[in-house]
Structure 1
Amino acid sequence: MKFSDIDSFFGSLQPGPFIIAGPCSAESEEQVLQTARALQEQGVPLFRAGIWKPRTRPGSFEGVGTQGLAWLKLAKQETGIQVSTEVATARHVEEALKYGIDVLWIGARTTVNPFAVQEIADALRGVQVPVMVKNPVNPDLALWIGALERMYQAGITDLAAIHRGFSSYQKTKYRNVPVWQISIELKARYQELPIIIDPSHIGGSRELIFPVAQKALDLGYNGVMIETHPNPDKALSDAAQQITPARLAEVVQQLQVRKSTYDDAELVNRAEELRLQIDAADHDIIAALAKRMGLVEQIGAYKKLNNVQVLQLARWKEIFRSRAEWAEEAGINGAFVEELYKLIHVESIRKQTQILDGDE
């Protein structure tokens, strides 16, 4: 996929923040118009609202359906604001285009299913409409890229990615954990691809919208999508993560856009000095890891000689506990070191298993 030569809606976006806002769900004509008017006054360029809502379990509010598209069309006619909604089937695409929806997005539950994504791509073939693709529910970069590629191969070149976080079985402060490294890798592979943060779905609460959005802008994201409702506590879906238009204005005003490069020769030189020191430190880390793996191989050979199993659970628990403590004492995040040692442990087990199986 190439985006650098595209003169389009998303291709023209500059690093942040491009604001997309509106309710999680279109609930009534009055609610849609009230929100759109407020956002238009703030200069928000793109209004969002869910018409069809894919819910985890039946019985919850699943959207108003096609009638909501008429409300979006009316909001556009009255305020001039462009409108967007989520599509999950070919029929959704047909209905949305019939009502003149300006921008479509593919949700996380759809992105995870290549068959559904292809159905949407086929329905869009020959149509020039901007499409945003949310990351899949599970942390799978290949699925995310695959959905973007299916759109691109169908002739949709006006594309953007939405980072809305990933489901996790672990308890965290987030509704959907960000796993920032996945979106960073996406950006590294497709530098021209605009990426938009969805702090509402990542945080799951109003309090986390600003810090998540700010971190995304610090990473060079192009915009934010924030769920905005005139009366969030009464919202029919995802009430806890929506904010009022007034609060949205405060959040946007507080957001800071960082410079993408240094603009002073002295700062450039100092940054280069620090990078050289980082390179040297990384070299030392690699050398230390190589030394550690050499010792692991010796342990593996000793275990093979004495017919001892590879996994020594008590030893692993001690390493996992003590290294995090050492890190905290050194002023390093203990959780980060825990994750690092999980990877080191996996590689240690692999090497020792090879030795016991006679592969080395």
Structure 2
Amino acid sequence: MKFKEEDSFFRKLTGAEQRPVIIAGPCSAETEEQVMQTALALREQKVDIFRAGIWKPRSRPNSFEGIGLKGLQWLGRVKRELGMLVSTEVATAHHVEEALKQGIDVLWIGARTTVNPFAVQEIADALKGTNVPVMVKNPVNPDLALWIGALERVYNAGITDVAAIHRGFSSYEKSKYRNVPWWQIPIELKSKFRSLPLIVDPSHISGNRELLLPVAQKALDLGYDGIMLESHPDPDNALSDPEQQVTPAGLQDILSKLQVRKTTYDDQELINRAEKLRLQIDEGDQQILRALARRMELVEQIGYYKKQNNVQILQISRWKEIFRSRPQWAKELGMNPDFVAELYRLIHVESIRMQTEIMKREL
């Protein structure tokens, strides 16, 4: 996939300004008055794209599932009277057709739709022959291949102005987030497609307004190209996702506190210092890998010993001891114990794999 770069729709919105694209608006369009009131306030803040959900896929029936077609007319009014670009979510070919009739400028495919290749293909087929920019949210579950597949389907329909939206991933693990960010997944996506604009959705990652600023800031620190935030005149009484929405004034406060980092060093002395530190990091990595290789040699020896003595691979007491002691050792060294615990989970998985292969061999 070769996405547009300098002439990308999303990059043109900010021109030469070194700032992210800002997309904001209510989670759901509820009334014409609410839409116009919000849009007017956000126009004053120079929001680049006004967003509002018209069709809302919900987990269970008998909850608010969006206002439907008349909401598109309200977005059309925002575009005509306030001169703002407008965007909404589409989940079917019919949604695409109706949105394009009303001149909606940007469409996005939601997380619940991205998980279904048949649904994404239906949308892609409906997009053929148009030049409307499309944003694709990550699938509900942490599946990079599925996310890339959805982007490819849209791109193959002839849409080259495509952006990815990172809205976090569902998890059974206890977390302070509504949807766990798992930043490494969108970072890997960006590494594969460097010209693909990457937009963060702090509202759906956070699930509450207190986390919106730190999530948005982290995304900017990682080089994201845009931010999508939900704003409502009366968030506490919103018909969908009240906890994660902020008033237009609250949105302005968040935006005013965000810091946009430079993309690289602009001083030769700083460049030289950074390069020296990187060389030291490279040396440190070589030492880590040599130590890890030695550890795996020992694991292999233990594997052969277990096979010779007909002992099972997994020793629960040893497993518990490793995951008790290593994070504690890390803490004593001033390191993040959670990081070290995760590292040793990966090491343990590889150790099990190695010893399983040994069990299959003929001695």
Q: TM-score range by the shorter chain?
A: over 0.9
Structure 1: how far apart are the matches of 2:204 and 2:332? 35
Question: Contact 1:210–1:251 at 8 Å: present in 2 too?
Answer: yes
1:176 aligns to what?
179
- CA distance, structure 2, for counterparts of residue 42 and residue 359 of structure 1: 71
Change (3 A) 1:5 1:232: closer
Q: What is the distance in 1 between the residues matched to 2:332 and 2:61?
A: 49
Instruction: Tell me the distance in 1 between the aligned counterparts of 2:51 and 2:323.
Output: 45
Compute the displacement of 1:11 (Å).
4.3
Paired with 2:282 and 2:7, the residues of 1 have a C-alpha distance of 38
| Equivalent position of 1:105 in the other structure | 108
Ranges in structure 1 where 5+ consecutive residues have no aligned partner: none
Alignment match of 1:309 (pick from 312, 326, 332): 312
1:312-360 Cα offsets, whole Å, 9 max, x none, are: 0111011011101111111111111111111100000011111112168
Distance in 1 of aligned mates of 2:314 and 2:8:
55
Mapped to 1, the partners of 2:183 and 2:136 lie a distance apart of: 17
Q: Does 2:225 align with 1:222?
A: yes
The alignment's TM-score, normalised by the length of structure 2, stands at 0.97
Matches of 1:164 and 1:225, distance apart in 2: 9
Q: Name structure 2 gaps, 5 residues minimum.
A: none
Distance 1:61 1:248 in 2: 24
CA contact (8 A) 1:16 1:221 kept: no
AA in 2 matched with 1:9: F
Match of 2:154? Answer: 151
**Partners of 2:280 and 2:162 in 1: CA distance:** 39
Give the Å deviation of 1:9.
Answer: 1.2
Deviations 1:91-142 (A, max 9, x none): 0000100111010000000011110000000000000101000000011111
Equivalent position to 1:84, from 67, 84, 87: 87
Q: Which residues of 2 match residues 281-300 of structure 1 at below 5 A?
A: 281-300=284-303
Is 1:329 aligned to residue 332 of structure 2? Answer: yes
In the aligned structure 2, how far is the partner of 1:49 from the partner of 1:336?
A: 38
Match of 2:75 in 1: 72
1:9 maps to 2:12: no
Alpha-carbon distance change, 276 to 13 in structure 1, aligned in 2, over 3 angstroms: farther
Return the alpha-carbon distance in structure 1 between the equivalents of residues 337 and 113 of structure 2. Answer: 36
Taking the aligned partners of 2:289 and 2:125, their CA distance within structure 1 comes to 48
How many Å apart are 1:10 and its aligned residue? Answer: 1.9
- Structure 1 residue 13: Cα displacement: 5.7
8 Å Cα contact 1:136/1:166 also seen in 2: yes
Identity of aligned residues (%): 72
After superposition, the C-alpha distances for 1:5-64 in whole angstroms (9 at most, x for unaligned) are 562312436663211000000000010000000001111110000000000111111001
TM-superposed deviation, 1:2: 1.0
Contact 1:13 1:222 in 2 (8 A): no
Q: Structure 2 CA distance, aligned partners of 1:244 and 1:11?
A: 26
State the secondary structure of the residue aligned to 2:10.
coil
* 1:195 aligned residue: 198
Runs of 4 or more above 4 Å deviation: none
Counterparts of 2:63 and 2:286, CA distance in 1: 54
- Partner secondary structure for residue 160 of structure 1: strand
In the other structure, the counterpart of 1:20 is: 23
For 2:249 and 2:57, the matched residues in 1 are separated by 28
Instruction: For 1:169, give the aligned amino acid.
Output: Y
Counterpart of 1:309 in structure 2: which amino acid? Q
Q: Which amino acid aligns with 2:3?
A: F
CA distance in 2, matches of 1:345, 1:327: 17
> Contact 1:133 / 1:160 at 8 angstroms: preserved in 2?
yes
Count of residues paired in the alignment? 360
- The equivalent of 1:235 in structure 2 is 238
